[in-house]
């Protein structure tokens, strides 16, 4: 017994040794693979994930999101809330305090002026800032002293953790970027390629669209971190090759976004050199039901508009039966393996906003058939297709061209055919489907089909803007050049009222409650949005790389300062 | 050597002579056999052999199988029988290849003969050919498919509509090479003495073209045609890949190839079977074309 305990203790000491006795730069080099290569290291000039994530090693915000979606302090002393007085009761002001003694990597002190400058940099009218949404609704940023940043909002802001929070809105050094305001922003090559930051690493060499070489930041606030002296971020290849480089050949320690099919996942895991990490965010593959009539017999400009309700999908029993006939677990097994899980929710996470709606998870083909029978949809002429009042259940089902989506289409078509619904499939090149060109009939906004399938998610942790997309006034149509996020043409005054209530509510528990209700109104109460699979992120890490935690709410490299080499 | 016993042998018909020469070309005979086998496989195969239709959950239990007695070519990632899909795909791919080729050859020969024979038409028709050659093919196809797909699909149904549209689109964009070759041949042929003789006894242009010119341009046309079949099959797979060809549940060899690409490392047979089918078709058609050219050319025949 005693021996066992002692052995266990020794084993534990060994296991934790690298982390416990780490010192800066002790673990040599770490190789990271971003198969989409970084092209710029200033996240304000690029919305590409690869650029934002790479830049997050160098540039930091006041706070970040952890792997649960909770805000934690980075450069700030603590996270301001209404309770600790950091946010005023009327939700129009938030006050951040910087940690004292912070230094930029060039040795100069970090002050509140840098934050104010960053705000001015991104909101400059001639700048074209890619992350302008993070600074929306701000009336002014004030700096009463060197360590205090006060943000005033133009209207009450229930979710104030947008500016300076997360990898998409880090603080830039005012001294370095002083001449890069407005139209000059994109011409400042040196600044954009080699920003001075407060993060664990500094850039030593940047080859555009190829390699970023980094070294540990000598002025990083934690003297023991990062454990790696240098980091190399390499670009190129595709998801499959990236996974192979970590999982099979072991050339790299970490590979970003290695979406591969379940068979390849199993095969590569068997090689034993690495692990596939998965994290679930808010990306949901779903089938959207068209509430309006897409018939090509209608004149152009009336197809898929609110003028004509859908002949049979406006019947909730049809929509419900279509959802009941789907076995979501099978879809996960076919398409995503460990990088997916079945879901019935439009908002699957974070936990406080996710409804406990699981009713759709088990397939109920007989129930679906009975539901259609009882609501008058019967196959009277024996051709295998149900009809009612001369209207046949005949569906055009479109999606983008993508091997997984075509597999899903084939399988779902089988189920719906069994249900007694005739299905015609159509796939469209992704650049056209998601292109948003108002002149093209094949975009997902135009929705010239009965149902369509794609995935969407929301930025950050707050689902309010996402749920607000389903308001009546967001319906795309010819009058707004088919711009609008309410793809289903769903319109319910009660829903709109609830969204307005959400925008006025600050209490987090109450917000969660309303968000769940809104989610249910779209999913299990109406089956307008038929969620299928909650798609996670899949990245690969070598078995020798420790401290990696996959984060879907912020950048994947959010805790690179904690990475270490396992010995 | 047959020439020596002229008195004994009955005169050979043209058809018999062509067939006789064709048979001497080993590659051509081999190609013909392979092509016939492929056609039989695709057209008659489903009548002879077809596994029962399973529900999704049952089919998935037998996914990714290798070759076996039940599934001679294995199954794909959804448990669908690969041989069944190969048969269905073959029917479409072969039909697209041949029909598109016939359209292209018809157009090409027509334009080529008219341009070569009638000097007044030469300029305009050849400039038209140049224009078509200069057009970027894929964007043009995309525009055509986008503009007409819905309209044609409404009248003929999605599958037949896609077939007609694709065949037509490929046909009208691949006749130019045939036209140029034919024009060149016609320009040379119409100066020959027998053409002059025919015209001098009052033969109409129509008769000269049909009787004296066309039979003599058959061999270059055949070569162009055989290459066209291969090109049409491949263009169709490109279109399907871009989502502008057939509906996704409608297999073609090209689509099977693209689908298999993702699984190439794990299950190479997914790429090998459709790839082999396309290559065999192209190769056999090329050899048949080669043999036909020899057989139809009176200068080679009988040597």
The pLDDT score that the predictor gives to residue A7 is 47
Sign of the CA dihedral running A130, A135, A141, A143: negative
* Cross-strand partners of A422: A394
Interface of B with A in 223-262 (CB under 8 A): 241-244, 247-249, 259, 262
Q: Which of these ranges, A267-271, B42-46, B158-162, has the smallest mean pLDDT?
A: B158-162
Task: Give the residue ranges of DSSP H helices in chain B.
Answer: 14-24, 26-43, 45-48, 56-61, 82-117, 119-134, 137-156, 158-172, 176-189, 193-200, 205-207, 214-241, 253-261, 269-296
The pLDDT score that the predictor gives to residue A201 is 94
C-beta atoms of B247 and A426 within 8 A: yes
Given the candidates 3.90.850.10, 4.10.320.10, 3.40.50.300, 1.10.3720.10, the CATH classification of the domain at B15-46+80-301 is 1.10.3720.10
Mean pLDDT, residues B274-300 taken together:
83
Residues in chain A: 567
The pLDDT score that the predictor gives to residue A1 is 41
**Is the minimum CB–CB distance between A427 and chain B shorter than 8 Å?**
yes
Min distance A95 CA to chain B CA atoms (Å)? 52
Q: Considering only CA atoms, which of B101, B113, B112, B58 is closest in space to residue B80?
A: B58
3-state secondary structure of A276: strand
The pLDDT score that the predictor gives to residue B34 is 93
The pLDDT score that the predictor gives to residue A12 is 45
C-beta atoms of A409 and B78 within 8 A: no
Mean pLDDT, residues B83-88 taken together:
88
Distances, alpha carbon B13 to alpha carbons B8, B21, B288, in Å: 15, 12, 21
C-beta atoms of B55 and A418 within 8 A: yes
The pLDDT score that the predictor gives to residue A278 is 87
Interface test with A, best of B66, B153, B249 (most A CBs within 10 A): B249
* Cross-strand partners of A255: A33, A540
Flag whether pLDDT at B2 surpasses 70. no
Mean pLDDT, residues B287-295 taken together:
83
The pLDDT score that the predictor gives to residue B241 is 65
Give average pLDDT by consecutive 10-residue segment, chain A, 567 residues.
46 45 82 89 84 92 88 92 87 92 92 93 83 85 92 88 89 91 85 92 91 93 90 87 90 89 86 88 91 88 89 92 92 88 90 87 92 90 88 90 86 92 87 79 88 85 86 86 85 91 82 92 91 90 91 89 89
Flag whether pLDDT at B147 surpasses 50. yes
Identify whether A160 is preceded by a cis peptide bond (ω within 30 of 0).
Answer: no
On chain B, the residues whose CB falls within 8 A of the CB of A369 are none
The pLDDT score that the predictor gives to residue A18 is 45
Mean pLDDT, residues B10-35 taken together:
84
C-beta atoms of B60 and A409 within 8 A: no
**Is the minimum CB–CB distance between A365 and chain B shorter than 8 Å?**
no
Flag whether pLDDT at B272 surpasses 50. yes
**CA angle (A444 as vertex; A443, A447 as ends), nearest 5:** 95
Q: Considering only CA atoms, which of A58, A63, A84 is closest in space to residue A75?
A: A63
DSSP label at residue B111: H
3-state secondary structure of A193: helix
The pLDDT score that the predictor gives to residue A445 is 87
Interface test with B, best of A297, A399, A406, A437 (most B CBs within 10 A): A406
For A408, name the nearest residue in chain B, comparing CA atoms only.
B78
* Domains in chain B: boundaries: 15-46+80-301
Instruction: Please report the ipTM that was assigned to this predicted complex.
Output: 0.75
Instruction: Quote the CA–CA distance of A532 and A336 in Å, as a whole number.
Output: 12
On chain A, the residues whose CB falls within 8 A of the CB of B150 are 296, 441
The pLDDT score that the predictor gives to residue B7 is 56
The pLDDT score that the predictor gives to residue A344 is 92
Instruction: Quote the CA–CA distance of B232 and B291 in Å, as a whole number.
Output: 21
**Is the minimum CB–CB distance between B66 and chain A shorter than 8 Å?**
no
Confidence of residue B4 (pLDDT cuts 50, 70, 90): low
Helix (H) or strand (E) holding A218: none
**Is the minimum CB–CB distance between B64 and chain A shorter than 8 Å?**
yes
Helix (H) or strand (E) holding A249: none
The pLDDT score that the predictor gives to residue B33 is 94
Q: Tell me, letter by letter, the H, E, C secondary structure of A32-98.
A: EEECCCCCCCCHHHCCCHHHHHHHCCCCCCCEEECCCCCEEECCECCCCCCCCCCECCCCCEEEEEE
Residue A143's Cα: distance from chain center in Å? 32
The pLDDT score that the predictor gives to residue A10 is 45
Confidence of residue B282 (pLDDT cuts 50, 70, 90): confident
pTM greater than the 0.95 cutoff: no
On chain A, the residues whose CB falls within 8 A of the CB of B78 are 334, 407, 410-411
Residue A305's Cα: distance from chain center in Å? 29
CB B263 within 8 A of CB A334: no
Look at A435 and B183; give whichever has higher pLDDT: B183
The pLDDT score that the predictor gives to residue A91 is 86
CB A553 within 8 A of CB A462: no
Strands A201-207 and A138-142, by their bridges, are: unpaired
Identify whether A350 is preceded by a cis peptide bond (ω within 30 of 0).
Answer: yes
**Is the minimum CB–CB distance between A417 and chain B shorter than 8 Å?**
no
Residue B13 has a CB neighbour count (10 Å cut-off) of 9
**Is the minimum CB–CB distance between A403 and chain B shorter than 8 Å?**
yes
Kindly give the interhelix angle for B269-296 and B253-261, rounded to the nearest 10 degrees: 140
The pLDDT score that the predictor gives to residue B10 is 67
CB A425 within 8 A of CB A454: no
Residue B17 has a CB neighbour count (10 Å cut-off) of 16
Instruction: Quote the CA–CA distance of A520 and A357 in Å, as a whole number.
Output: 7
Instruction: Quote the CA–CA distance of B79 and B62 in Å, as a whole number.
Output: 5
Instruction: Quote the CA–CA distance of A447 and A432 in Å, as a whole number.
Output: 12
On chain B, the residues whose CB falls within 8 A of the CB of A401 are 241-243
On chain B, the residues whose CB falls within 8 A of the CB of A428 are 243
The pLDDT score that the predictor gives to residue B5 is 54
Report the residue from A267, A411, A427 with minimal CB separation from B56.
A411
3-state secondary structure of A252: coil
């Amino acid at each position: 017994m005693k021996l066992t305990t002692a052995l266990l203790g020794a084993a534990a000491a060994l296991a934790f040794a690298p982390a416990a006795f780490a010192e800066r730069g002790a673990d040599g080099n770490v190789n990271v693979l971003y198969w989409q290569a970084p092209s710029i290291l200033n996240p304000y000039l690029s919305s590409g994930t690869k650029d934002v994530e790479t830049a997050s090693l160098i540039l930091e915000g006041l706070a970040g999101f952890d792997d649960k979606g909770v805000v934690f302090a980075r450069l700030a002393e603590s996270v301001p809330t209404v309770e600790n007085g950091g946010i005023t009761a009327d939700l129009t002001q938030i006050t951040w305090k910087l940690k004292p003694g912070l230094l930029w990597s060039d040795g100069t002190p970090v002050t509140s002026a840098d934050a104010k400058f960053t705000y001015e940099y991104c909101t400059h009218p001639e700048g074209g800032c890619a992350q302008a949404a993070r600074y929306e609704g701000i009336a002014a940023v004030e700096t009463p002293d060197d360590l205090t940043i006060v943000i005033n909002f133009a209207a009450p802001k229930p979710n104030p953790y947008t500016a300076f929070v997360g990898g998409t809105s880090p603080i830039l050094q005012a001294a370095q970027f002083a001449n890069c305001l407005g139209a000059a922003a994109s011409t400042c090559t040196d600044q954009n390629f080699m920003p001075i930051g407060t993060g664990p690493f500094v850039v030593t060499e940047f080859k555009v669209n190829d390699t970023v070489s980094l070294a540990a930041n000598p002025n990083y606030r934690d003297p023991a971190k990062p454990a790696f002296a240098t980091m190399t971020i390499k670009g190129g290849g595709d998801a499959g090759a990236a996974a192979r480089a970590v999982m099979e050949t072991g050339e790299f320690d970490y590979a970003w976004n290695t979406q591969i099919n379940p068979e390849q996942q199993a095969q590569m895991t068997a090689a034993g050199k690495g692990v596939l990490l998965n994290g679930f965010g808010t990306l949901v593959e779903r089938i959207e039901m068209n509430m309006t009539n897409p018939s090509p017999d209608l004149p152009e400009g009336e197809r898929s508009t609110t003028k004509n309700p859908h002949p049979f999908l406006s019947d909730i029993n049809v929509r419900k039966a279509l959802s009941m006939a789907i076995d979501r677990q099978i879809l996960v097994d076919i398409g995503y393996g460990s990088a997916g899980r079945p879901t019935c929710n439009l908002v699957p996470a974070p936990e406080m906003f996710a409804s406990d709606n699981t009713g759709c998870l088990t397939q109920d083909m007989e129930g679906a058939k009975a539901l259609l029978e009882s609501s008058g949809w019967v196959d009277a002429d024996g051709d295998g297709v149900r009809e009612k009042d001369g209207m046949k259940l005949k569906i055009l089902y479109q999606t983008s061209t993508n091997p997984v989506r075509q597999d899903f289409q084939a399988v779902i078509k089988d189920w719906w055919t069994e249900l007694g619904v005739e299905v015609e499939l159509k796939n469209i090149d992704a650049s056209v489907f998601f292109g948003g060109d108002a002149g093209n009939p094949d975009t997902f906004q135009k929705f010239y089909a009965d149902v369509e399938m794609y995935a969407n998610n929301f930025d950050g942790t707050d689902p309010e803007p996402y749920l607000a997309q389903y308001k009546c006034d967001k319906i795309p149509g010819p009058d707004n050049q088919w711009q609008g996020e309410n793809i289903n043409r769903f319109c319910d005054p009660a829903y709109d009222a609830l969204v307005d209530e959400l925008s006025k509510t600050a209490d987090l528990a109450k917000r969660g409650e309303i968000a769940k209700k809104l989610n249910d109104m779209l999913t299990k109460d109406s089956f307008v949005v038929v969620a299928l699979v909650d798609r996670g992120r899949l990245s690969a890490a070598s078995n020798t790389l420790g401290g990696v935690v996959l984060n879907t709410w912020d950048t994947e490299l959010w805790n690179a300062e904690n990475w270490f080499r396992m010995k | 050597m047959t020439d020596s016993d002229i008195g004994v042998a009955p005169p050979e018909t043209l058809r018999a002579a062509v067939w006789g020469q064709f048979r001497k070309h080993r590659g051509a005979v081999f190609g013909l056999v392979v092509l016939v086998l492929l056609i039989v496989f695709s057209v008659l195969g489903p009548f002879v052999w077809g596994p029962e239709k399973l529900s999704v959950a049952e089919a998935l239990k037998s996914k990714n199988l290798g070759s076996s007695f039940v599934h001679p070519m294995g199954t794909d990632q959804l448990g669908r029988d690969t041989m069944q899909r190969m048969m269905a795909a073959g029917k479409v791919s072969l039909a697209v290849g041949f029909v598109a080729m016939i359209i292209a050859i018809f157009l090409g020969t027509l334009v080529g003969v008219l341009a070569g024979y009638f000097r007044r038409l030469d300029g305009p028709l050849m400039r038209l050919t140049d224009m078509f050659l200069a057009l970027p093919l894929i964007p043009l196809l995309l525009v055509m498919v986008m503009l007409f797909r819905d309209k044609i699909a409404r009248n003929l149904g999605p599958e037949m509509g896609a077939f007609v549209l694709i065949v037509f689109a490929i046909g009208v964009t691949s006749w130019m090479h045939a036209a140029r070759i034919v024009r060149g041949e016609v320009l040379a042929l119409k100066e020959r003495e027998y053409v002059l003789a025919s015209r001098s006894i009052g033969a109409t242009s129509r008769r000269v073209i049909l009787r004296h010119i066309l039979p003599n341009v058959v061999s270059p046309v055949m070569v162009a045609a055989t290459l066209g079949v291969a090109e049409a099959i491949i263009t169709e797979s490109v279109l399907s890949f871009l989502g502008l060809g057939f509906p996704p549940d409608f297999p073609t060899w090209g689509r099977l190839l693209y689908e298999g690409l993702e699984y190439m490392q794990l299950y190479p047979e997914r790429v090998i079977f459709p790839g082999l089918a396309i290559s065999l078709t192209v190769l056999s058609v090329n050899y048949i074309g080669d043999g036909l050219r020899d057989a139809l050319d009176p200068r080679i025949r009988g040597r």
